[in-house]
Amino acid sequence: SQQGEEDPQALSIQEGENATMNCSYKTSINNLQWYRQNSGRGLVHLILIRSNEREKHSGRLRVTLDTSKKSSSLLITASRAADTASYFCAFDRGSTLGRLYFGRGTQLTVWP
């Protein structure tokens, strides 16, 4: 498959805990992005990490990228009930400019 694969498919945690989601891919990439989708809404971009970067932070989000393992992780620290959503990774293969390849997503539920 050309798409990314997220792991786990579903994650359920308590408020205050950290949530870690993983993404694996099979081709070389230019960049990898994470998106969030609240129920009934469109996807919203969270963060982009380029192939020459290893870690990036944005607020409570931390993204890592290991190009040797072809994997990325998204860490949400001190989670809140409002973080409940589906999270998707998407990558740019470089060979098809403009197009992103999306995974199936991880459904995160944060219980108050």
Partner 1 sequence: DAGVIQSPRHEVTEMGQEVTLRCKPISGHDYLFWYRQTMMRGLELLIYFNNNVPIDDSGMPEDRFSAKMPNASFSTLKIQPSEPRDSAVYFCASSSGTSGSTETQYFGPGTRLLVL
Nearest to partner 1 of 70, 104 (CB atom): 104
The CA-based dihedral angle spanning residues 107, 46, 3, 64, taken in that order and rounded to the nearest 10 degrees: -100
Residue 85 Cβ, how far from partner 1 at the closest point, in Å?
A: 13
Q: DSSP 3-state assignment of 62?
A: strand
**Interacting residues toward partner 1 by CB under 8 A:** 30-31, 33, 41-45, 48, 88, 90, 92, 94, 96-100, 102, 104-105
Nearest to partner 1 of 37, 84 (CB atom): 37
Residue 30 Cβ, how far from partner 1 at the closest point, in Å?
A: 5
Residue 48 Cβ, how far from partner 1 at the closest point, in Å?
A: 6
In whole angstroms, what is the distance from residue 31 CA to residue 12 CA? 28
Residue 6 Cβ, how far from partner 1 at the closest point, in Å?
A: 10
Are residues 18 and 76 in contact, defined by beta-carbon separation less than 8 angstroms? yes
Q: At 107, which helix (H) or strand (E)?
A: strand 106-111
Nearest to partner 1 of 18, 96 (CB atom): 96
Nearest to partner 1 of 59, 97 (CB atom): 97
In whole angstroms, what is the distance from residue 12 CA to residue 65 CA? 24
